[in-house]
Structure 1
Amino acid sequence: MPQLSAFLLLMLGLLVTGSAAAQQSSDKDTGLTPAKERKLTRRERKELARRVALETAQQTSREPSAREREQSEAYFVDGVRYALLEDYPKAMERLLKAYALSPTNAAISYKIAEVNMLSGNLKDATNFAQAAVRLDPKNTYYYLLLAQTYTTQKQYDQAAKVYTSLIRDVPDSNYYLFNLADLYLAQGKLQEALTTYEQAEQEFGPTDEVAFKKQQIYLKQNKLDKALQEGETLIASNPDDVRYVLAQAQMYVTNNRLPDALRVTQQALRQAPDNPQARMILADVYRLQGKKAESEEQLKLAFGNSALDIDTKVRILIDYIRQLPNPALTQTVLDLAALTTRAHPQEAKAFAMAGDVQTIVERRQEARASYLRALQLDNSKFQIWQQVVLLDAELNQTDSLLAHTERALELFPNQAPLWFYNGVGHVLKKEPKQAIKSLEYGRKLTTDNPELQAQFNTQLGDVYHELKDYSKSDAAYEAALGVDANNAQALNNYSYYLSLRGEKLDKAKQMAGRLVKQFPDNPTYLDTYAWVLYKLKDYTGARQALETALKHSSDGTLLEHYGDVLFQLQQPTQAVAAWERAKKAGDASALIDRKIKEKKLYE
């Protein structure tokens, strides 16, 4: 094989050792600026086709003259510089000229292969890398590039053959047995990978990495005893590293060899009494043995240890949450959540998870406190803000609801649910005009969420009715029902308010009737239906609806309405009795005392 000149070898060395230094040098010497990386154009690819003819000529070409060698070296140097600047088209142009003058120069073929690889032209990269190996079969770098081209194309068999040739033909290349074994693993050739790892062990001695990979192969081959044997090897070679003991214990647990798992885990605890992972494995062992109390004790010891990472604890808590509500688990999950917050007092996710647990088991006050602590640590999570305002609403904490929604809206001004609950807060504070502003603004943000828009419209229907803006109230309810014709809140409130106004009573009856048909035992909806019938002077129908409602509720409003209906049915004694029960129950109207005293109906 023709030898490289000293100058050409020097440039190849520069290529391998550092692109940064070459970059600086090229900027000074040529004034070139880096070009944006791109694939070769069709014209440039056509030029590459010249290589076919050049390779054919290679077999019979004469040795280049001294001048041709010098010229080839100059083109090569220029090509290297352009490659370092990532201007691959210009690099390829120079390198092909160098190749034309010295087609048997392995370094030039290698560099052309590398530039093609970087340009995404894998076919030509493979061809030129093959040429480089053929021209210099003792150069490790040429084999590695060829193997890389095959691997990139997922031609793992070919890549494995290249590594096999490298290990066989190039002295001191046995280290690449590890690469070959990894390739076999990538193809699922487990036995070939195992044989190759064993060759590597014979060459370099046992290593933890090889033992671990052999163990994984044995597990895939269902050879548990051999996998465990490799685990014992790892433990023996790392007597002070408890990780390998724990891995062995976990393998026993996974394969339901519980006595062995217990023995090895206790060995780990003798080495590291505070190790939370050992406690977790022991908890698994006891759980599988049906020892619930012992399992929970070990789990709590692990959760109370800050060395067990927060994400592991969160995953376990999520598994428990999926089993809630479950009275048998409630206290355990609450205890684990509390241990998590104590072990990680600066972790927002610990308090957020505690809030989730407390919400599910209906400890709303505690849940809200946990969520607020999470927000103190990290206020960037919209979902936690949303949980806080939902709990404010459920707990009837109107001032907190307004304060929290306003703080959250500073961070998330485009979140419609926050505007909704802010509007609800103003409704509860008897501030309908402020409620309208929030609800109207929030409704504009719901164009891609019809269901949420319907909730806004229903709430707006209520508020506009309170402001006696009946046309807007009706329009809002109609919009809500346009999205969901069975929207219970809209059907109930719309029909009730129409009955109070004495307008569109047939429409009100139709809506209230549809609602009662869906919920035949709901006292609120039955009361609405009865009141619409009352306004239509269908007192018998109203009485039937109210008597059905009173089977499910003794609400004061229901009883007062029932008394009104009885009075209209010429049953004043029964009517007064109903009014007296209404007064005693509470929630009756301001006219209740007058009705009772004068034994007359006042509306």
Structure 2
Amino acid sequence: MSNVINFRHITRAFSMSVILLLSGTFSVSAQEKIAGEEGIYMEGLKEYNVGSTDKALSIFSSLARKGSRNDAVYYYLSNIYSSKSKPDSALVMMERAVRLDPGNTWYRTQLASLYMNKEQTGDAIKIYESLRKEYPQQVELYDGLIDIYVKEKKLEQALDVLEDIEKYAGKSEASCLTKYNLFIFQNKRDEAIRYLSDFDKENGTPRTATILGDYYTSVQNDSLAMEYYTKAISIEPSYVPAIFGQAELHRIKSRFGPYFRSMIPLMANPVVTAEMKVDYLSQIISNQRFVETFLPQVDTLVSNMYYAHPGDSSSTYLYARYMAQTGRVEQATKALEENLEYFGESRAAHREYLSLLYFNENWDKIISHIEKYPLMFAYDPGLLEIKGLAYVQKDMIPEAISVFKNVLYIAKGDSAMEVRALSVLGDLSYQAGNRKDAYKYYRKTISKAPTYNPVLNNYAYYLSLEGKQLDKAYKMSKKTVDSEPDNPTYLDTFAWILHLTGKDLEAKAIIKHALVYGGNESAAILDHYAEILYKLNEHDLAFRYWEQADKIDPSLGIAEKVKQIKEGKRK
């Protein structure tokens, strides 16, 4: 067959089209008039073109079994097998098509693609290289070689191919950036920048100028960076990456007037993707000092982004978080409630809304919202967990236990979720006065996660309160302070166990370490420290720490305890 276009087959197809047009449909007698293989092939082609691939497959397969010399039969069989996800059969058929018509460049490029799909990279390279040698000016036949050589980490060969492409097709932005990236892959950054700069002088585009601007920003050559950004914007005033780059350079150099003048309209531009804006503004609003200094301007940035993309969840979530972060919870809530009207079936939308309610400590609304959508939340342990925590905050312990038992049931297979649920059930059971169940849940947690510090600490502490199994409590608590030596809660538990076992000097050293890392803000830890000091006969210092503890939390009854000690009612 001829190269690329098979005129013999076009003639056949044209003749057949005329017959079809005149006759409308094939009668049995008309079919009988179609002679031999040629007619059968045209019937298969008709079925293929109308989308009846199964019928076409049957017809073309019958011709192939008879040893047809028509290369197009095997070409179409290959296409059909590819559409049916049968790559091996597709490859065999295309190889037969190429053998019958080795000069057909379309067949050969298709065969190379099939080889690549089968990861027969060497065979694909042979085909592309032969096309490159035979038809060097038809660069579209072998430009796929570059990707193959890059994948194979044969970067010099990729550069050779690119040289041919630029020789016969001329330099373009695409070829320039490809060569630039190849230099970068070879760690030849200086050569890459020189090449890109030379291209940009003669054939500069907004993209090449912006890449150079970004590079000079990264090496803190601000004047040259600004020059390239300005060039990019002069070529295309709406080119977003250059506007971003220029604005960021203004911000870095504390030129906030030009920064906001560039960025505010950009955030209002609906053509700029919401994803790009969200990624950028997430970094901006995480800088609390910047937000506080330029609150009105940042408000405008975030609001422009939000209103430019109505119905976009990602921009809504960022807007709501920002509003909550800056104390405007009502606006945040309204935005997320409106988002739920668009995306009521989205668990992510519900999770964002519930997270905001949790942040605002709106426990009743969390519970009522989850109960409003029973099917949505029935089998989502993560969302049920939020409901359970809301019950905990409302001190509705039996209800919380019920929810977390359900979480545990539906979280089977999710080890992290199971561990969390077991841990919470242990804490809640102890709080409800059911020590037996609490310890059962703790043991189950430790069996699944032997180094889970929250449970090791709580289990050890509760045992110490009972004065039971102190050796076991010591071992569990020791694990927590070994892995987190600056955690004041874990240090306090360990020190208290040492105190109970008569090791008050060790206990004092441990709990003093806890005070350094935040323990001095905890009434319970200060109370324990005072008890240890009192046991060591450092009475004056003990009373001083009890006084501090009582000021932090008078509900612990420390003042009454001190009174009894001073009156001699407690040793």
- TM-score bracket, normalised by the shorter chain, equals 0.5 to 0.7
Distance 2:240 2:535 in 1: 75
- Specify whether residues 73 and 395 from structure 1 end up closer, same or farther in structure 2 by C-alpha distance, changes over 3 A only: same
2:441 pairs with one of 450, 464, 476? 476
8 Å contact 1:334–1:358 — kept in the other structure? no
Q: Displacement, 1:440?
A: 1.3
183, 194, 197: which one pairs with 2:141?
A: 183
2:278 counterpart residue number:
314
Q: 1:469 to 1:11 in 2, by over 3 A?
A: same
- Once structures 1 and 2 are overlaid, which stretch shifts more, 429-438 or 275-284? 275-284
Give the secondary structure class of the aligned counterpart of 1:414: coil
How well do the aligned residues superpose, as a CA RMSD in angstroms? 5.2
Q: Assess if the C-alpha contact under 8 Å between 1:349 and 1:374 holds in 2.
A: no
1:468 to 1:181, Cα distance in 2 relative to 1, 3 A:
same
The CA distance in 2 between the partners of 1:339 and 1:281, in whole Å, is 19
1:419 equivalent to 2:384? Answer: yes
- What are the superposed Cα offsets for residues 212-239 of structure 1, whole Å, 9 maximum, x if unpaired? 66776887893755665456xxxxxxxx
Partner of 1:170: none
Change (3 A) 1:536 1:9: closer
**Hey, what's the Cα distance between the residues in 1 that align with 2:538 and 2:106?**
103
Report if aligned partners of 2:388, 2:400 keep a CA contact under 8 Å in 1. Answer: yes
Deviations 1:22-75 (A, max 9, x none): 99946x65999xxxxxxxxxxxxxxxxxxxxxxxxxxxxxxxxxxxxx999333
1:109 to 65, 70, 73: 70
> Is 1:599 paired with 2:567?
yes
In the TM superposition, what is the alpha-carbon distance from 1:267 to its structure 2 partner?
3.8
Q: Which residue identity lines up with residue 128 of structure 1 in the other structure?
A: L
Q: Which residue of 1 aligns with 2:556?
A: 589
Could you say if the C-alpha distance between residues 506 and 571 of structure 1 is closer, same or farther in structure 2, counting changes exceeding 3 Å? same
Letter of the structure 2 residue corresponding to residue 187 of structure 1 = L
Q: State, as a whole percentage, how many aligned pairs show the same letter.
A: 17
Equivalent runs, 1:436-447 vs 2, <5 Å: 436-447=401-412
Distance 1:543 1:375 in 2: 54
Q: Which residue matches 1:81? A: 43
Q: Match for residue 138 of structure 1? A: none
> Within the alignment, does 1:300 sit opposite 2:268 as a pair?
no
- Superposed CA offset, 1:494-538 (max 9, x none): 223223334334433443454455556655445444554666677
How far is 1:460 from its partner?
0.8
Question: Is the alpha carbon distance of 1:225 and 1:520 closer, same or farther for their aligned partners in structure 2, counting shifts above 3 Å?
Answer: closer
1:553 aligned partner? 520
In the alignment, residue 264 of structure 2 is paired with which amino acid?
K
What is the aligned counterpart of 2:453 among 488, 492, 500? Answer: 488
Q: 1:316 to 1:525 in 2, by over 3 A?
A: closer
Encode CA deviations 1:368-426: one digit per residue, 9 max, x unaligned. 64666655543555456445545555554433443455567743543323233322221
Q: Distance in 1 between matches of 2:281 and 2:197?
A: 31
Contact 2:229 2:242 in 1 (8 A): no
Separation in structure 1 between the aligned mates of residue 196 and residue 503 of structure 2, nearest angstrom: 83
Structure 1, residues 1-29: CA drift from partner, whole Å, max 9, x if none?
A: 9xxxxx998743266x6999999946x65
> Matches of 2:225 and 2:549 in 1, distance apart?
67
CA contact (8 A) 2:550 2:558 kept: no
Task: Tell me how far apart the structure 2 counterparts of residues 248 and 517 of structure 1 sit (CA, whole Å).
Answer: 54
8 Å CA contact 1:116, 1:125 repeated in 2: no
The separation in 2 between residues aligned to 1:163 and 1:366, in whole angstroms, is: 67
The amino acid across from 2:244 in the alignment is M
Residues 228 and 517 of structure 1, relative CA distance in 2, 3 Å threshold:
closer
Offset, 1:473: 0.8
Q: Report if aligned partners of 1:439, 1:456 keep a CA contact under 8 Å in 2.
A: yes
CA distance 1:79–1:588, shift in 2 (3 Å): same
Call closer, same or farther: CA 1:226–1:20 in 2, change over 3 Å.
farther
CA separation of 1:125/1:288 partners in 2, compared to 1, >3 Å: closer, same or farther? farther
Quote the residue 1:237 is aligned against.
none
Residues 461 and 116 of structure 1: CA distance in aligned 2, closer, same or farther (over 3 Å)? closer
Distance 1:346 1:499 in 2: 55
Tell me how far 1:126 sits from its aligned partner: 1.3
| Residues in 1 aligned to 2:250 and 2:526: alpha-carbon distance in whole angstroms | 59
Q: Which has the larger radius of gyration?
A: 1
Matched residue, 1:193: 165
Contact 2:404 2:421 in 1 (8 A): yes
Deviation for aligned residue 1:439: 0.9
Q: Which segment drifts farther, 414-423 or 249-258? A: 249-258
Alpha-carbon contact 1:253-1:285 (below 8 Å) kept: no
**Structure 1 gaps, min length 5:** 2-6, 33-69, 100-107, 134-141, 165-176, 199-209, 232-243
* Most deviating of 406-415 and 435-444: 406-415
For 1:304-347, what per-residue CA distance to the aligned partner results, in whole angstroms no more than 9, with x for missing partners? 333323233234346668xx557458867955434312433432
Stretches of structure 2 that go unaligned for 5 or more consecutive residues are 2-7, 82-89, 116-123, 147-160, 183-191, 217-223
TM-score, normalised by the number of residues in structure 2: 0.67
Return the alpha-carbon distance in structure 2 between the equivalents of residues 217 and 531 of structure 1.
66
**Distance of 1:498 and 1:23 partners within structure 2:** 94
Distance 1:127 1:587, change over 3 A: same
Alignment of 1:188-587 (within 5 A): 188=146, 189-194=161-166, 196-197=168-169, 222=195, 225=198, 229-230=202-203, 246-247=206-207, 249-250=209-210, 253=213, 261=228, 264-265=231-232, 267-268=234-235, 279-280=243-244, 282-283=246-247, 294-317=258-281, 327=289, 334-335=298-299, 336-354=301-319, 369=333, 374-375=339-340, 377-379=342-344, 382-383=347-348, 385-386=350-351, 389-390=354-355, 392-393=357-358, 396-403=361-368, 406=371, 410-516=375-481, 522-529=487-494, 531-532=496-497, 552-553=519-520, 555-558=522-525, 560=527, 582-587=549-554
Asked if structure 2 preserves the Cα contact closer than 8 Å seen for 1:76 and 1:98, the reply is no
> Residue 468 of structure 1: SS of its match in structure 2?
coil
Per-residue CA distance 1:462-517 (angstroms, 9 max, x = gap)? 11112332221111111222334343321332223223334334433443454455
Where 1:301 maps in the other structure, the secondary structure is helix
